[in-house]
Amino acid sequence: MLTLQFIPYSEVENLPQEERIRKILSIVKEDKIMVMEGRLKKEEEGELIRATMENISGKFKGIEISVVYPERKETLTKKLKGVLAEMLLGERQGLTVIGPATLIKEIKKDPDKIQLLTADRKTRRKR
């Protein structure tokens, strides 16, 4: 069975970086695909990858991550409002998908959608 877990931005916005990374890894290690509102900062993505590499074992093979955020054609006024909102509210725009490498076969993304291809259950058991 495939399990998706949605994490609203409000659940992680006040967590320190270490706690945010730990929360993400704990969800993914349970063979769940995490869908998070918003996106991680570049430094957080790097830290997530480093922490993942430290946790690789016989059972945990790593993660797949993809971020999608719509690129809208906007007027200058709307862009300025968007920048101001991001400064005040954080990086909420977009969607982040993170899952275990043993479960996710491939993530294809366009500017406004994600196609998530999962591994066949029989194939996963042989790994």
Q: What is the pTM of this model?
A: 0.76
Residue ranges of alpha helices (H) inside the chain are: 9-12, 17-29, 42-55, 76-89, 121-126
Task: Tell me if 41 sits within 8 A of 96, measured CB to CB.
Answer: no
Task: Tell me if 24 sits within 8 A of 64, measured CB to CB.
Answer: no
- Residue 84 CB partners (closer than 8 Å, separation 6+): none
| Mean pLDDT (the chain, rounded) | 83
* Owner of token pair 């977009």: 94
**Domain count along the chain:** 1
Q: What is the pLDDT of residues 44-93, one digit of tens each?
A: 999 999 999 999 998 899 999 988 876 666 677 777 776 776 666 666 67
Residue numbers of the domain that contains 83: 4-126
